[in-house]
Amino acid sequence: MSPPARIASRSTALPALDPEPRSKAEPSSAALPAQRRSPVGAKAEQRVRDILRESRAVFAERGYERTTTTEIALRLGISEATVFTYFRGKRELCMRVIGDWYDEIIDAIETGLPRERSIRDQLEFVVHTHLRLFLIQGTGLCELVLSEGRRRDAPVTRGEGQDFGTAFVDLQRRYTAPLMDLLARGQASGEVRQDISLRLLRSLVFGPMEHMLWEVIIAGRQIQVDEAARDLVALLWPALQAPDQELQSLRRLKARVTEALSEPRQGLGKA
């Protein structure tokens, strides 16, 4: 595995895009298989949190294939049977780890999004937050999401027909919902073009970010997150904005200038 990328700003990999996006980032029961046993009591809940915390670290370090529930249990000083008390197996545990991580990123975007600013500025915030949070813990989870999200042949649990790639679809809907909402609001306000589907516009944003992150993972390339987000949005925005957006902006500027220049004359006339 490539060494963790060093990031200049405190400022992570992108999921394969699902065929039918949703408008809201709401969890769905289809995203994650139910735990084998729901924790009852503070001690059991803490045990689950500990298992998930250590699982995230191991998956990030070793990837899916080289991670074992035995190692997770050893790091926690518990038996492997205890892990299986709460999770059916490694794949279910992996899905829970990724789902929790996605929720953290979604929360960071939704709580920090500067909704009072322009759609372009909000887009830059989304891009910056994705890159920052996908890389802040190193490249391990980033690589895990990019690679495992494309596996369509491994069952989540032995007793279920749902496969790993299919289970990712609902997670991806939740994950991409904040951007979809932003683009939809941009179309409604006239700032984002309406002649292209939201799904394609979404792919236009996520595609370049995924390639940037793969360069970090495969080549160990350093990335300046602030600069990368700013440059990427500068490249994307001309393709995303409404065709007459610049003309409308110039017209609004002209109207403001004309109004400002006319005010002294009106005051002079009254004098």
In this predicted model, what pLDDT tens digit does every residue of 67-92 receive, in sequence order? 999 999 999 999 999 999 999 999 89
Q: Supply 151's token pair.
A: 């596996």
pLDDT above 90 coverage of the chain, percent: 48
Task: Specify the pLDDT at position 128.
Answer: 96
Length of the chain: 271
> Alpha-carbon distance 268 to 60, whole Å?
70
Mean pLDDT of the chain: 80
Task: Specify the pLDDT at position 26.
Answer: 44
Task: Specify the pLDDT at position 35.
Answer: 55
Average pLDDT over residues 14-37: 46
Task: Specify the pLDDT at position 148.
Answer: 66
> Alpha-carbon distance 105 to 128, whole Å?
11
Q: Are 191 and 241 in contact (CB under 8 A)?
A: yes
Higher pLDDT among residues 148 and 57, named by residue:
57
Task: Specify the pLDDT at position 65.
Answer: 87
Task: Specify the pLDDT at position 149.
Answer: 59
With a cut of 90, say whether residue 219 has pLDDT above it. Answer: no
Higher pLDDT among residues 220 and 97, named by residue:
97
User: Which domains are delineated in the chain?
Assistant: 42-240 (1.10.357.10)
> Alpha-carbon distance 247 to 242, whole Å?
10
Mention every residue, 6+ apart, whose C-beta is less than 8 A from residue 48.
35, 39, 86
SS (H, E, C) 126-162: HHHHHHHHHHCCCCHHHHHHHHHCCCCCCECCCCCCC
Task: Specify the pLDDT at position 150.
Answer: 57
Q: Supply 91's token pair.
A: 């794949």
How many angstroms separate the first and last alpha carbons of the chain? 78
